[in-house]
Amino acid sequence: MLTPTPLMGLVTGFWSFKTFAAAVELELFTRLAGGQVITVADAEAELGLPERPADLLLAACASLGLLTRDGDGYRNSALAEEFLVKGKPYYFGGQVAYCDQRTYLPWHRIGEALRTDRPLTWDPASQESMFDTADPRMLESFWGAMYSTSIFTAKALAQHVDLGGGRRLLDVGGGSGAYPIELCRLLPDLSATVFDLPHVCEIAAGNVARAGLGDRIATAPGDFLTGEGLPAGHDVVLFSMILHDWDEATNQRLLTQAYEALPRDGRVVISELLLNADRTGPPAAALMGMNMLVETVAGRNYSDAEYAAWLRTAGFTDIETVHFDAPGANGAVIGIKR
């Protein structure tokens, strides 16, 4: 029998997110690191919560798979212990905090974005893009969020995509440096360059230094939107979670510049949440497209067929799509310069 139960799941989706975000804000999972157990009474004392909210929060987090029951109390689930404890190498709380603090309330005005076709998280009249900001806290929040997401996407990329023996990778819009760091860890013969805005390269350089990879990963400050071309001297050009920020004309120009910058047999790799050809999903890609409406002037998520067409126009051949499962991408489109 057809019922509205699936619709109720859509209606209440924000309950799960806001419960999750509140627990991260309270540093609940960090407090439980290393197998510690918390009871409702402990939560009252340690989190400063009254009994009823403490009980409800712990039960809700357990229902979401973030906590597990242990006698009279709760402990971190394996997922929370690995990714939601501050200080651990793959801490994911930055992504949670960023979405909670920057995009959640603007999403309440999604109808306005649909009617006006204007972003809601920044003002195009006073900023060139969402990345043009003098607020160091926002930058730290954004790149912290991207780093935690990108690390595991880079792992999947390295496992599923053949870089064709590439030894020098250019990460266009490489942000915090997560992709080059993880790829260089997994591919010992690879070196890389992060090409991004000067203040972003400073963030990347710090992450590279902490990873102990300063001898293999460099930064190249610049602006890929100026049309001046991409740095040469690389045999792989990577666009990861970048092209969904821009319109078709900008993306075609960037892919043409990639072709011009690459040597013969060089490769371009586009790693994204790819829509299917008939634009019916998957949900992660389609809903990321809606987020582009909230956060960008002209961004949207594209299908692998669209990327393949643009690659052919730029001159690339041997185009293929490789699918995988990762937090920030579900596949990559690869082209070769012959």
d(CA 221, CA 198): 5
d(CA 290, CA 286): 7
Catalytic residue among 108, 160, 234, 244: 244
d(CA 222, CA 197): 5
- Per DSSP bridges, beta strands 267-272 and 236-240 are parallel
Three-state DSSP class for residue 270: strand
- Per DSSP bridges, beta strands 317-323 and 331-336 are antiparallel
Q: Is 199 a catalytic residue?
A: no
**Is there a contact between 146 and 171 (Cβ–Cβ < 8 Å)?**
no
- Of 69, 76, 70, 63, the residue nearest 29 (C-alpha): 76
The count of other CB atoms within 10 Å of the CB of residue 276 is 14
Task: Please list the active-site residues.
Answer: 244
